[in-house]
Structure 1
Amino acid sequence: MQRVGLALISGAVLALELALMRVWAITQYHHLSYLVISTALLGFGASGTLLCLVRGWAARHWRGVSCAAALGFAASVPVCFAASQRLPLRPLELLWVPSSWLWVLVSQLLAFVPFLFGATCIGLLLIAHADRAERWYAANLAGSGLGVVGVVAVSWWIPASWLPAFAAALGLLAAGLLIPGKSVAPLLVTAGIAAAMALAYARLPLSDLHIDEYKTLPGLLRLGGSRIVARRDGPLGRLDVVAGPAIHEVIDLSPAFAGEVPPQMVLASDAGRGTTLTEVADLRQAEFLDWSVLAAPYHLARPGKVLIVGAGGGTDVHLARYHHTPQITALELNGQVADLVRGQFAGAAGDPYGRPEVRLVVAEARGWLERTEERFDLISVPLLDAFAAASAGVYALNESYLYTLEAVERMLSRLTERGVLSVVRWIEYPPRDAIKFLATAVEALRRRGIERPDQHLLVVRLQFAAHVLVSPAPFSDRQIQSFRSFLDSRNFQAVWYPGMPAEEAGHRHELPGMDGDGRLVGRAAIHDAARALLFDDAERFHQRSLFNLRPATDDRPYYFNFFRWKLLPVLVRLGPQAASQMEYGYALLVVTMVQAVVLAAVLVLLPLRWVRRQAWRHGGKLATAGYFGSLGLAYLFLEIAFIQKLSLYLAHPVLAAAAVLGGFLVCSGLGSALSRRVSSLPGLPCSAVTMAVALIVVVGLVCTLGLSALLEPLSSPSLLVRTCVCLVLLAFLAVPMGVPFPQGLVQLDRQEPAYLPWAWGVNGFASVVAGPLAVLLAMAVGFNALVWLSLGLYVVAAFLRGRMPGARGTAGHPA
């Protein structure tokens, strides 16, 4: 029963980590979720130091202490979570209002408390049963893996604000199994604590999440008469349907339009931009859409077959129906969005998916495009992100496989001979998003062997968005004339068409760029960039640009990262008012990593200076630090890299994270359980660690160099089949990854147990830093390079193990 208790508390800790990441995605932004990962790992590192400081006392009273720690975890979760929701966090002000960092630090410390309790319970149980460590470590990792699966499963039925309560409930169950004694009294105590916690949960305002005021949902609710009329929770996000008389959302509607916009609602996802529901009872009410930049491709030629990526509330479906498109395929990732639009709000949305010419497909767009062989006359990719967040750079750390170079190539390959790819992107000030997609489209055309990509592009804009049209065939004179007539009749600004004179750029709506000193220059930044990319030296253009405008790739899928370090002095010089509209996500991640390093040093490494100082007189301290530090970095680097690599194959972001994370933990636990048996086998040519590292390197290299070729024959429409393939693949990598860490601990415990605090602390320190560092490295050099670096770290660890105390041939120790 105690091993079951260990499994439960391990699952509870990991469930809490994922629950807080979901909450932060709603209340703040995606990039700050890395703080949760670092805080959780910081709790494990600090718990190791704490156990080292009270090792003797804790070892004598491990039953009572482990139970108390589990109860502390369960009791602290609701209190700390409720307190954190009352903090005035404003992430968009972090770089310019120093006091904002104080609230971030307080939030981290509140999250740190339950992780410290949970990690202390886990660590104490493992130390107390070191003689059977392989069984207990396997229970720890298996419970962690099941915690991942459990929190994803329950997120279908309970709101995100109650997910921490699920983690606390698991912790309470673990405490009940760990209570010492065999009488009925411990059970009564546990029941009493459970009743007290239930009462506390009922009184705590856990349903009221404190959402950042700059996000879309609070802005909508500030409009007069606006209110939330429906809410749905799920692993893909929280959905809020907002209705109100002041809600009207049409991207760049022509000022020449004199008609009326039908009643609308907004469906916000994770409190950010979601999709619009438009009450189109009659197709004539969709006329307003024909006066927006979205209508440009329909005026080139009437498409017979249209694919809409991210159909959401169905507004783009109404536009296609307005132009009498006979076949419309609507792709939508989130099944709950589709259910709302087809069900409760079918009338408010104009019932877009109930029409005979419309086929709704609930699937991730990139994965579906990779599997389908259908061809379309038009592939439309509308705006799928919020303008305010994109302008501030908060999407900089979001991975997106929809706008990579490979994705654009795939979409072009799914077009008919004279088909059109239509992509709408935001125009920030100064502009960069639209320019980056334009650079991606130009490179994709050149990869197809097209020598004159300028003949295959049309670009139109107004104030907030640019519409890029790309075709595998040159646009005809008739199409160009239709395009110009469309612009003239609606007073839109031409950005690019074949043969466009330079003086026409910006003659209706000026859009200056920014030079290297932060000064506004020119009057048509996107047109100037297009001319440089098409006719001048594109490499020179990218080198001189103040922003990162190179195309994103599947290996570096950070399309929204526009930050370059040469931008930082400009940000400082311009000051908060102008710089708040520029990129800061990347710089914020660097600051986050520095903060994690400082906290880890204070809470993990510094206390170890007071632990058995006499141990530092012996040799092998640096080798021990290098060994366990390399393992801490390498394990998380591989885990993060493979979550991204396999998300494309699984074509389901939530399942990819759950399957890879759970698969790594369970399979590593199996490797740990087998490590003692393997190391005791007679006649081995080398140590178990060396064999494990060799297998890790071989499998890692195969996956890096040939993962696509390996998975392509195994691609299946069945998500279950693809998940099983991923788990089998992960087993070959994760099982040997579970060998080096416990083998290193065994070696130290036998020969130099005084070094254990140092090893535990360094590994915790490295794990804290690994999360944000992995993202920084992936953005800079790509996920393949991150895998290679992790493999190199495993090789370094295998080398350093031979210089640790107790290694064969180490001076002063038996061979």
Structure 2
Amino acid sequence: MPQNVQRLPFYAGLGMVTAATLMLQIVETRIISVTSWYHLAFFVISIAMFGLTAGAVWVYLRPRRYRPEELSYHLAAASLGFALSTVLALLVQLTVVTSLPASVMSLVVWAEFAVVLSLPFFFSGIVVSLALTRSPFPVGVVYGVDLVGAALGCLGALVLLNLVSGPSAVLWIAVLIAAGGLLFAQAGLGSIPADRTVTGRLFRHRGVVLAGLALLALGNSLTEGVRPTVVKDQIEHPERIAFERWNSFSRITVGQPAVERPALWGPSPHYAAAPIEQRWMNIDGGAGTAVYRFSGDLKELDFLRSDVTNVAYAIPGLQSGAVIGVGGGRDLLSARLFGVPEVVGVEINPIFIDLLTRRFADYTAIGRLPGVSFEVDEARSWFARTNRTFDIVQMSLIDTWAATGAGAFTLSENGLYTVEAWRIFLERLTPTGVFTVSRWYAPGEVNETGRMVSLAVATLQEMGAADAKRHLFMAASDHVATLVTSRAPLSDEALAALQGAADANAFKVLLRPQRPAASPLLERIVSAPDREALDQATGGSYLDLSPSTDARPFFFNQLRLDRLFDQDVFSLASRGGVYGGNLSATLTLAILILISAVLVAATILVPLRSTVGTGPSALVGAGTLYFALIGIGFMMAEIGLLQRISVFLGHPVYALSVVLFSLILSTGIGSLVSERAPLDSGGRLIGWAVLTSLYLLLLPAWLPEILLRLESANLLLRAGLAVVVLAPAGFLMGFGFPTGMRLVGAIDETPTPWFWGINGAAGVLAASVAVLTSIEFGIDTTLRIGAVCYLLLPLPALVLLRTVLQPQAAPAQ
């Protein structure tokens, strides 16, 4: 019987490997957000599942190679392969250009990217499969260690990302994996074969491998030699970067100083200013914000009066202000320049506050400016929590260019552009206060401008405004439009001041009370008396201009799939901006689904097809349907909850960590409970399926209200609530897989690998489809599809159960 000297190293090694697997998955989403686009974070989930399933299939198909008598050797060797392939995948990933135009070459590049990224997870799948199927220890305990390690990895990723850069985090994860391999070897489970292959050499030199990886990780943490080469399709030049820091939110770089024309978002046509010294702060390589050299004399910043983003400051009597998204501090400086005595900057990313108040305090005096204060918090939560009210709240181009340029299926700022969020902001205004938002504007097009206006109209309607147009003023210059939304109808004095500022700077007035809007579509939107009329007004555009909500928080995606071919697609796509970016992102998603399907078929379904060749047709058909349904249902629920929780917590990486942590633990507990309380009768199967379906189906009915009521809670409490919401869903869904395996195993164990593969394949493909479903139809629809999948489970499950019970009924006949 195995002793503690074997058991403890085995458990410790398994916990390290499974923790590293989840850490790698989460850290990869952060790196991909820098090198490519935010929406590809979901691709990591899909590829990780694919790699893990492919690794398990590899073990199943090679029983003679992976013998229990050599378990420690194979576990250690696979762990070392996991560690080294993690480094290899990182190096390749940092040099691949993924945003080629949709073509055969882009298909090849994405296929290469998918294969390389899946390789580490393939080795992880081998380790976990061997541990569960070959070890001499109780399966329940092994499974429990697997789950605990994975859950801790979800939290460990956040800690690691706040200590080192993304690439260094991956290298330290490789060290953790290699250390797990050494512990597997120390467990001494079985003999060591005389293997002269590369695998054997790796095993014999495992200590050297660990030491080499540790030195590489330490060296990179100090020098950052392994760093992104291609960032948002551009070659990055390290010599142009004066400062760089990563955290779980972003990667911030600060460029070298340059003497040039002051950077403005929407400069007046009359704008003329002497060159000044400024730097560019860059967020994830795709969003720049200028920080000006500023000694503390506001007269140095007089050029800010010529920016259309500041038109609302023309309103007289503004005494208090708030800025959402501090960035380089230009909006805070604008508020003080226009005479607002007190202004607070609310910034989710602490790196910006540290740069402005400490590290670059000698470059900009904003941190020492009287009347300026900072709050490090997610804006929605802070505004919901504070008792303060403001005469003006400003939010200028809070999106990162990744959002506009690539359709941005998900990123933290999405939660700032919903009806629910804008209502929170408007409710924190004084009775005559204004909320000013600046977005990209394309002359002759409505695009983001139209959606911004429809969002304001919908919010005002919810707050009881009888005539939304009386609350709105919008001016544009160059490629930026600024919408001023007042809580009360704009006074004659405020309107005269806004119009005067627009005239003085030659800004184009797109919208104001008592005058027709600049376009018939805008006029229909602002004149809509209720939500039904607003939906009719926005429905006439080839773009999706409907107001975004927490249930469909994709403000930056304006592509309407139902009207995709009503227009000259290629002509519109060539314009770039909103439509071109959205179309490019959607085509990329389609390519990723195609690649996933091909990989799944080639490495999972085709190799396992032989296992069902001789099985009973009822078993094969019902079993395939059952495991496909739980694969699709689980992934639809996971992605839907991930998107909903992302808006609530304020950032996708937090949401990913919390959702995975909650679902891993609760699903594992559900699986273990299913052993003691099996679903071994038709009544139990139907009851479980209905209960699971009802929970998912009713989530959209009660969850949004709960989340809004607790919007003001701190991050820890909001994360705790997310766990409480997710745990019942995970617990109930955890019954599905083991129940199915028991049913098919009782009939014929031969095809069980096929069903395992079907489950993994369905999950891989459903991850990308779930993203597309949420964008087009809303998160609630994604959750409902998951609920329907579980509701349909009794159909194949009862066929399997009847087949299991048939042999017992035969003697009585």
TM-score computed with the length of structure 2 as normaliser: 0.89
Deviation of the 1:182 alpha carbon: 7.4
Secondary structure of residue in 2 paired with 1:241: strand
1:743 alignment partner in structure 2: 739
- Could you list the runs of 5+ residues in structure 2 that have no partner in the other structure? 1-7, 193-201
1:23 aligns to 2:31 (yes or no): yes
The structure-2 alpha-carbon separation of the partners of 1:628 and 1:182, relative to structure 1 and needing over 3 Å to count, comes to closer
Amino acid at match of 2:592: T
> Does the 8 A contact of 1:421 with 1:469 survive in 2?
yes
Deviation of the 1:673 alpha carbon: 2.2
Amino acid at match of 1:613: G
1:326 aligns to 2:344 (yes or no): no
1:661-708 deviation digits (Å, cap 9, x = unpaired): 11111222222222212239xxx9867655544543444345332124
Secondary structure of residue in 1 paired with 2:392: strand
1:623 alignment partner in structure 2: 622
1:147 aligns to 2:153 (yes or no): yes
1:567 alignment partner in structure 2: 564
1:349 alignment partner in structure 2: 364
1:405 alignment partner in structure 2: 419
1:514 alignment partner in structure 2: none
CA RMSD, aligned part only?
3.0
Deviation of the 1:553 alpha carbon: 0.7
1:664 aligns to 2:677 (yes or no): no
Amino acid at match of 1:418: T
Mapped to 2, the partners of 1:664 and 1:383 lie a distance apart of 35
Mapped to 1, the partners of 2:45 and 2:361 lie a distance apart of 40
Mapped to 1, the partners of 2:774 and 2:190 lie a distance apart of 54
1:193 aligns to 2:200 (yes or no): no
Deviation of the 1:173 alpha carbon: 2.0
Taking the TM superposition and a 5 Å limit, the aligned residue runs for 1:651-730 are: 651=650, 653-679=652-678, 690=686, 692-710=688-706, 717-730=713-726
2:93 to 79, 84, 88: 84
2:196 alignment partner in structure 1: none
1:496-554 deviation digits (Å, cap 9, x = unpaired): 1123367xx5xxxxxxxxxxxxxxxxxxxxx3322121347644443331111111110
The structure-2 alpha-carbon separation of the partners of 1:635 and 1:138, relative to structure 1 and needing over 3 Å to count, comes to farther
Q: Which range is displaced more, 528-537 or 554-563?
A: 528-537
1:139-185 deviation digits (Å, cap 9, x = unpaired): 22221111111121111111101222122122212212222637999
What fraction of aligned residue pairs are identical, expressed as a percent?
Answer: 25
Secondary structure of residue in 2 paired with 1:544: coil
Q: Which range is displaced more, 252-261 or 332-341?
A: 252-261
1:299 to 314, 332, 336: 314
1:11 alignment partner in structure 2: 19
Deviation of the 1:398 alpha carbon: 4.1
1:443 alignment partner in structure 2: 458
1:167 alignment partner in structure 2: 173
The structure-2 alpha-carbon separation of the partners of 1:571 and 1:39, relative to structure 1 and needing over 3 Å to count, comes to farther
1:105 aligns to 2:111 (yes or no): yes
2:59 to 33, 51, 54: 51
> Does the 8 A contact of 1:313 with 1:349 survive in 2?
no
Q: Which range is displaced more, 271-280 or 769-778?
A: 271-280
Amino acid at match of 1:673: L
Mapped to 2, the partners of 1:21 and 1:700 lie a distance apart of 26
> Does the 8 A contact of 1:418 with 1:472 survive in 2?
yes
1:511 alignment partner in structure 2: none
Amino acid at match of 1:194: L
Mapped to 1, the partners of 2:572 and 2:498 lie a distance apart of 41
The structure-2 alpha-carbon separation of the partners of 1:612 and 1:490, relative to structure 1 and needing over 3 Å to count, comes to closer
Deviation of the 1:715 alpha carbon: 6.3
The structure-2 alpha-carbon separation of the partners of 1:198 and 1:331, relative to structure 1 and needing over 3 Å to count, comes to closer
Deviation of the 1:800 alpha carbon: 1.9
Mapped to 2, the partners of 1:129 and 1:751 lie a distance apart of 25
Amino acid at match of 2:790: Y
Secondary structure of residue in 2 paired with 1:473: coil
Deviation of the 1:569 alpha carbon: 6.3
Amino acid at match of 2:613: R
Deviation of the 1:299 alpha carbon: 0.8
1:244 aligns to 2:237 (yes or no): no
2:287 alignment partner in structure 1: 273
Deviation of the 1:38 alpha carbon: 1.9
The structure-2 alpha-carbon separation of the partners of 1:59 and 1:695, relative to structure 1 and needing over 3 Å to count, comes to farther
Mapped to 2, the partners of 1:83 and 1:655 lie a distance apart of 26
Amino acid at match of 1:236: F
Count of aligned pairs between the two proteins: 777
Deviation of the 1:8 alpha carbon: 1.9
Deviation of the 1:84 alpha carbon: 3.2
> Does the 8 A contact of 2:669 with 2:734 survive in 1?
yes
Amino acid at match of 1:641: G
Deviation of the 1:284 alpha carbon: 0.5
1:229 aligns to 2:242 (yes or no): yes
The structure-2 alpha-carbon separation of the partners of 1:810 and 1:254, relative to structure 1 and needing over 3 Å to count, comes to farther
The structure-2 alpha-carbon separation of the partners of 1:810 and 1:461, relative to structure 1 and needing over 3 Å to count, comes to farther
Amino acid at match of 2:668: G
> Does the 8 A contact of 1:158 with 1:233 survive in 2?
yes
Deviation of the 1:377 alpha carbon: 0.9
The structure-2 alpha-carbon separation of the partners of 1:806 and 1:127, relative to structure 1 and needing over 3 Å to count, comes to farther
2:229 alignment partner in structure 1: 210
Amino acid at match of 1:574: S
Secondary structure of residue in 2 paired with 1:302: coil
> Does the 8 A contact of 1:620 with 1:805 survive in 2?
no
Secondary structure of residue in 1 paired with 2:397: coil
1:733 aligns to 2:741 (yes or no): no
> Does the 8 A contact of 1:291 with 1:490 survive in 2?
yes
Mapped to 2, the partners of 1:183 and 1:608 lie a distance apart of 28
1:8-66 deviation digits (Å, cap 9, x = unpaired): 22222222222222111111111223332222111122223323322354244444333
Secondary structure of residue in 2 paired with 1:313: coil
1:256 to 262, 270, 276: 270
1:450-507 deviation digits (Å, cap 9, x = unpaired): 23222111110011100001112222222222222211211111111123367xx5xx
> Does the 8 A contact of 1:264 with 1:348 survive in 2?
no
Deviation of the 1:445 alpha carbon: 1.8
Secondary structure of residue in 2 paired with 1:392: helix
Amino acid at match of 1:611: T
Q: Which range is displaced more, 628-637 or 425-434?
A: 425-434
Amino acid at match of 2:610: W
Mapped to 2, the partners of 1:114 and 1:159 lie a distance apart of 20
The structure-2 alpha-carbon separation of the partners of 1:813 and 1:470, relative to structure 1 and needing over 3 Å to count, comes to farther
> Does the 8 A contact of 1:53 with 1:611 survive in 2?
no
1:605 aligns to 2:602 (yes or no): no
1:549 alignment partner in structure 2: 545
Mapped to 1, the partners of 2:323 and 2:283 lie a distance apart of 19
Mapped to 1, the partners of 2:697 and 2:400 lie a distance apart of 38
Secondary structure of residue in 1 paired with 2:607: helix
The structure-2 alpha-carbon separation of the partners of 1:650 and 1:562, relative to structure 1 and needing over 3 Å to count, comes to closer
> Does the 8 A contact of 1:94 with 1:100 survive in 2?
yes
The structure-2 alpha-carbon separation of the partners of 1:808 and 1:293, relative to structure 1 and needing over 3 Å to count, comes to same
Mapped to 2, the partners of 1:575 and 1:538 lie a distance apart of 25
Taking the TM superposition and a 5 Å limit, the aligned residue runs for 1:585-600 are: 585-600=585-600
The structure-2 alpha-carbon separation of the partners of 1:568 and 1:441, relative to structure 1 and needing over 3 Å to count, comes to same
Mapped to 2, the partners of 1:386 and 1:14 lie a distance apart of 27
1:760 alignment partner in structure 2: 756
Mapped to 1, the partners of 2:592 and 2:768 lie a distance apart of 7
Mapped to 2, the partners of 1:765 and 1:194 lie a distance apart of 34
Mapped to 2, the partners of 1:470 and 1:261 lie a distance apart of 33
Secondary structure of residue in 2 paired with 1:461: strand
The structure-2 alpha-carbon separation of the partners of 1:56 and 1:740, relative to structure 1 and needing over 3 Å to count, comes to farther
Amino acid at match of 1:238: R
Secondary structure of residue in 2 paired with 1:611: helix
> Does the 8 A contact of 2:391 with 2:429 survive in 1?
yes
Amino acid at match of 2:459: A
1:370 to 376, 384, 387: 384
The structure-2 alpha-carbon separation of the partners of 1:249 and 1:9, relative to structure 1 and needing over 3 Å to count, comes to same
